[in-house]
């Protein structure tokens, strides 16, 4: 079939000659890909998951990952990185990478169970929900995400899932968690799960505390396409995972989940040390737990002083009434970069600036400009779209 053909059931592959084929994910029916996905896990196909209803993203992935061209038969999936800038890289994952991640997750959660897919399956977090279901031998329930994350459907599917009496799990972004917690129907659904994986973005402290008080069982996750999904839960590495922090505070991850490099960047430094993935995150080990300080590639250099935007965001979120925040650096003729920030919430920019000046931040860390927005621009995975936000300044 041609690389653009969405009919995944007609994938052609042989054991002697392997090519990378598209696995087109339909947001109306993500489970339609399960048969082809299972065959990839047993070594019959090598697939590149792409979104059916985003032709621009599909074209970018198809071209950058060389869909239709030869690839090692050791690879089951090429999962695109979820970054919103530049050309996405394609993490090459073997069946062993994917299955070891699923097994480690079930071990951490207390055993296999039924999964509700509530995230796009062309991203690694959603794809792993499908893979865990295949490993557990239980068909997942899947939300129709073509029109976004709808609480009534989420609640109805949760009731159906939990009526089986089996252990029940799902995975959500912090944004989805917050939306579900806005209604009694959503809270009841959240409380029904034996475990909810929260990833894709940092979980705000206030939101986490509210969820705990409501009796919602959740686990914060850290990982990426390069690690076959989350490999550190609640600051603790999953079974088989190794974590270290190098001298420059860079987080390094090792274990059976680590990808076999990038499809479109075979000599990338991220995989220069065999068995390890060099992340772009800065972190530390505190009381035996991994704490992420911020991304090294988003550090703001203002007047020669380096600042993690997460420090500013944490201060903004500590102001009552602030629901979301993002800080970034924009070009400045004298400082090189100026610190700016956007937020969602009820305080006015003047009130928020006064709060920051009252000791929430050091003077040089205080944003030169604050914008109050109705919502922050996001990618399909719920991460803040920094290029779009930067354009507002």
Q: Can you tell me the distance from the alpha carbon of 326 to that of 26, in angstroms, rounded to the nearest whole number?
A: 31
Q: What is residue 29's predicted lDDT score, i.e. its pLDDT? A: 94
- Quick count: other Cβ atoms within 10 Å of Cβ 113? 20
Does residue 1 form part of some domain?
A: no
44 and 165 co-located in one domain:
yes
What CATH number does the domain containing 313 carry? 3.30.300.30
Reported in sequence order, the residue ranges of the chain that DSSP labels E, i.e. its strands, are 20-25, 46-51, 77-80, 90-93, 114-117, 141-142, 168-172, 195-198, 218-224, 229-233, 236-237, 242-245, 250-254, 276-286, 289-295, 300-302, 305-307, 322-332, 336-345, 369-372
Q: What is residue 382's predicted lDDT score, i.e. its pLDDT? A: 67
Q: What is residue 248's predicted lDDT score, i.e. its pLDDT? A: 84
Q: What is residue 83's predicted lDDT score, i.e. its pLDDT? A: 54
Does residue 83 form part of some domain?
A: yes
CA distances, 210 to each of 53, 178, 183, 207 (Å): 35, 10, 13, 5
107 and 250 co-located in one domain:
yes
Q: What is residue 86's predicted lDDT score, i.e. its pLDDT? A: 64
pTM: predicted TM-score of the whole model, two decimal places: 0.83
359 and 269 co-located in one domain:
no
252 and 324 co-located in one domain:
no
165 and 200 co-located in one domain:
yes
Q: Can you tell me the distance from the alpha carbon of 154 to that of 66, in angstroms, rounded to the nearest whole number?
A: 36
Residues of the chain with pLDDT under 70: 1-16, 82-86, 380-382
Q: Give the residue from 267, 290, 313 where a domain finishes.
A: 290
Q: Can you tell me the distance from the alpha carbon of 118 to that of 161, in angstroms, rounded to the nearest whole number?
A: 13
Count of domains in the chain? 2
Q: Can you tell me the distance from the alpha carbon of 235 to that of 214, in angstroms, rounded to the nearest whole number?
A: 22
First to last CA, the chain: 45
149 and 246 co-located in one domain:
yes
314 and 274 co-located in one domain:
no
Q: What is residue 175's predicted lDDT score, i.e. its pLDDT? A: 87
Encode pLDDT of 16-66 as tens digits.
479 999 999 999 999 999 999 999 999 999 999 999 999 998 999 999 999
Q: What is residue 13's predicted lDDT score, i.e. its pLDDT? A: 40
Does residue 2 form part of some domain?
A: no
186 and 225 co-located in one domain:
yes
Encode pLDDT of 59-106 as tens digits.
999 999 999 999 999 999 999 986 545 688 999 999 999 999 999 999
CB 340 within 8 A of CB 327: yes
Q: What is residue 8's predicted lDDT score, i.e. its pLDDT? A: 41
Q: Give the residue from 270, 290, 310 where a domain finishes.
A: 290
- For residue 380, the enclosing domain spans 299-391
What CATH number does the domain containing 15 carry? 3.40.50.12780
67 and 134 co-located in one domain:
yes
315 and 173 co-located in one domain:
no
Q: Give the residue from 260, 290, 320 where a domain finishes.
A: 290
234 and 337 co-located in one domain:
no
For residue 380, the SS3 value is coil
């Amino acid at each position: 079939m041609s690389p653009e053909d969405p009919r995944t059931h007609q994938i052609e592959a042989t054991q002697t000659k392997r090519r990378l084929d598209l696995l087109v994910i339909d947001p109306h029916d993500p489970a339609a890909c399960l048969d082809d996905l299972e065959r990839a896990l047993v070594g019959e196909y090598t697939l590149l998951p792409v979104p059916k209803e985003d032709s621009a993203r599909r074209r970018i992935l198809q071209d950058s990952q060389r869909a239709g061209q030869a690839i090692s038969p050791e690879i089951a999936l090429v999962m695109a990185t979820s970054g919103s800038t530049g050309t996405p890289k394609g993490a090459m994952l073997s069946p062993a990478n994917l299955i070891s991640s699923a097994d480690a997750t079930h071990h951490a959660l207390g055993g296999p169970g039924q999964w509700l897919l509530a995230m796009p399956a062309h991203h690694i977090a959603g794809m792993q929900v499908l893979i865990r279901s295949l490993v557990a031998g239980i068909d997942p329930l899947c939300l129709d995400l073509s029109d976004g994350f709808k609480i009534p459907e989420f609640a109805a599917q949760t009731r159906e899932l939990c009526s089986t009496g089996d252990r029940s799990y799902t995975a959500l972004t912090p944004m989805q968690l917050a939306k579900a917690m806005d209604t009694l129907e959503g809270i009841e659904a959240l409380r029904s799960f034996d475990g909810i994986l929260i990833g894709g973005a940092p979980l705000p402290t206030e939101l986490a505390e509210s969820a705990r008080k409501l009796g919602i069982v959740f686990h914060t996750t850290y990982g990426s396409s390069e690690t076959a999904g989350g490999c550190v839960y609640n600051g603790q590495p999953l079974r088989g995972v190794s974590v270290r922090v190098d001298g420059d505070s860079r987080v390094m991850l090792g274990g059976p989940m680590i990808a076999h490099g990038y499809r479109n960047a075979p000599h990338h430094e991220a995989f220069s040390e065999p068995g390890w993935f060099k992340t772009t995150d800065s972190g530390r080990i505190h009381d035996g737990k991994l704490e992420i300080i911020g991304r090294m590639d988003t550090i703001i250099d203002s007047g020669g002083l380096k600042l993690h935007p997460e420090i500013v965001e944490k201060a903004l979120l500590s102001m009552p009434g602030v629901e979301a925040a993002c800080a970034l650096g924009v070009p400045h003729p004298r400082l090189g970069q100026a610190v700016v920030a956007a937020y969602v919430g009820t305080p006015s920019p003047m009130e928020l600036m006064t709060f920051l000046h009252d000791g929430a931040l050091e003077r040089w860390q205080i944003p030169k400009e604050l914008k109050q927005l109705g919502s922050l621009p996001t990618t399909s995975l719920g991460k803040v779209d920094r290029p779009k936000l930067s354009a507002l300044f």
